[in-house]
Amino acid sequence: MSGANKSKRAAAAPALARQVKTTMPDHTVKAFTEELDGLQHEVARMGGLAETALNEALAAFSRRDTTLAQAVIERDGKIDAAQRDIEKRAVKLFALRQPMANDLRMVLTGWRIAGELERIGDLAKNIAKRSLILNQAEPIQLTKSIDRMGRIASSHLKQVLDAYSNRDVQAAVGVWYGDEDIDAHYNSLFRELLTYMMEDPRMISSSAHLLFIAKNVERIGDHCTNIAEYIHYLVTGEDIARERPKADSAAPDDQ
């Protein structure tokens, strides 16, 4: 995704979230609105950082690009710093403004989404770290399966970030349902890797790293689904009243 499009996304979120408090003085209303806008702008900006980290980590893995993997690891601190800034902004809004109704949901979901994005950044960093280890070994054919998983996860992240900026419940729910696709890919790959390790014990170490990378991608899909649920709550004021879809699992749940 281009930098221009990410800037548009960051600018779009605040514009869709203004609510005037007629019981407040004008200067207080303006300050409150600016603080809400600032929070949402930072969430959108952080989303762009997480999106870049994921895409570059997946590219580093696929291309066996050591330099790019190291860059992903080094830049993770920017995502952590953005999460801390959003947390401070949210705490300040809770303490000084006591938001209610829609505004309360804006602050709460912004804070929660930032937490999900921080975890996505950590998982992208872990993918990059394991890629560095795999770069020292012979390539494994099953990396193509992880590439496919990664493309789905990356698409889901882009969709939920756009849905947040546009307050698009339908798009968010689409991602929520689509998490089953990532789970199905992970379960299939888990079985393939187990077979691969049993057939050639020399590949156990590399296959284990591949399995962890696949699990990281699967977890990123879960975090995108969490964000989709927060968007649904932000816009409607209600939780998604259905059980989260999951593919039948052949792999152990270590969550």
Q: Are 43 and 13 in contact (CB under 8 A)?
A: yes
Domains annotated for the chain, with CATH where assigned, are 3-236 (1.20.58.220)
Task: Give the residue-averaged pLDDT of 51-73.
Answer: 98
Residue type, 63: R
Task: Give the residue-averaged pLDDT of 234-255.
Answer: 70
Least confident of 2-6, 96-100, 134-138: 2-6
Q: Are 99 and 93 in contact (CB under 8 A)?
A: yes
Helix H segments across 64-100?
A: 66-97
Tell me the pLDDT band of 3, cut-offs 50, 70 and 90: low
Tell me the pLDDT band of 130, cut-offs 50, 70 and 90: very high
Closest CA to 228 of 153, 136, 128: 153
Q: Are 13 and 113 in contact (CB under 8 A)?
A: no
In this prediction, residue 22 carries a pLDDT of: 42
Task: Give the residue-averaged pLDDT of 233-238.
Answer: 94
CA-to-CA dists, residue 182 to 41, 69, 147, 179, 207, angstroms: 29, 23, 11, 5, 19
Sequence-separated (6 or more) residues with CB below 8 Å from residue 243: none
